[in-house]
Structure 1
Amino acid sequence: MPHNNHYNHQLKPLAKALRKESTKAEVRLWCEVLSKGKTGYTFLRQRPVGKYIADFMCKELKLIIEVDGYSHNFKAKEDEERDMVLNELGYSVLRFHDEEVLKNLPNVQRVIEAFIEDQQK
């Protein structure tokens, strides 16, 4: 039985390029919180979902984590639309700012862990 997870193969080359160009905040979140099943779940980096590429995605939790850089200060409407589309596909979206990840990673980690705990209830 094929399970789709809304994977968009056409975005695969772009996703691969984005993995190589990860921001400091994305790398830090990945290395210190999300990689190697540290949360108890498998997260994938720069994963095509629908017409978007999620910074981090966990299929099991149907969770997408976005780390927004400075440019997102001017993209509130696009981000809102994107979150709505991803919600319609069945995903929850947690969004953090670069600064939060770099300067307050323990809090970002707490938010992610709280989300995971809620899902396990």
Structure 2
Amino acid sequence: MRLEGSASGKQNAKRLRKQMTPHEIALWLGLRGNEAGLRFRRQHAVNDYVLDFYRAPAHLVIEVDGEAHARGDRPARDAVRDAWLAARGLQLLRYPAIDVLTNLDDVVRQILAIAIERRDRLES
């Protein structure tokens, strides 16, 4: 299943690729040069949503959550978005931004292990 971004989603993704947070940049650098050779997309548009990182063959979404994700209506908005993604067979991994900065190697190892496991399960 190929998930397409809306025109506004694609425009927003392009803008966000130019404005990545330090946490997102750190994770992108860790994922981009991974030993397993897995390719990830960054700031990938799906419908009106923009996914921080996406591994299409594994149907895997990775989100880096800063402090704003715990404030205001953001938790409710995230829950709606997460349910929409799950209904399309995507697995979502959320990492607090501080964990990405303080424990990057372990975060990358965990993401790669899950991506490989999902790929193998989906291909069989």
Determine if the alignment matches structure 1 residue 76 to structure 2 residue 62: no
Number of aligned positions between the proteins: 118
* Equivalent residue runs for 1:21-32 within 5 Å: 21-32=19-30
- Mark the CA change 1:42 to 1:83 in structure 2 (over 3 Å): closer, same or farther: same
Which residue of structure 2 lines up, in the alignment, with residue 46 of structure 1? Answer: 43
Identical amino acids, percent of aligned pairs:
35
- Mark the CA change 1:81 to 1:16 in structure 2 (over 3 Å): closer, same or farther: same
Distance in 2, matches of 1:91 and 1:50, equals 13
Q: Secondary structure at the match of 2:57?
A: coil
Distance in 1, matches of 2:25 and 2:41, equals 12
TM-score, length basis structure 1: 0.86
Determine if the alignment matches structure 1 residue 67 to structure 2 residue 64: yes
Distance in 2, matches of 1:24 and 1:107, equals 17
Determine if the alignment matches structure 1 residue 57 to structure 2 residue 54: yes
Q: Structure 1 counterpart of 2:75, which letter?
A: A
Deviation >3 Å, runs of 4+: 36-39
Q: 1:55–1:64: 8 Å Cα contact kept in structure 2?
A: yes
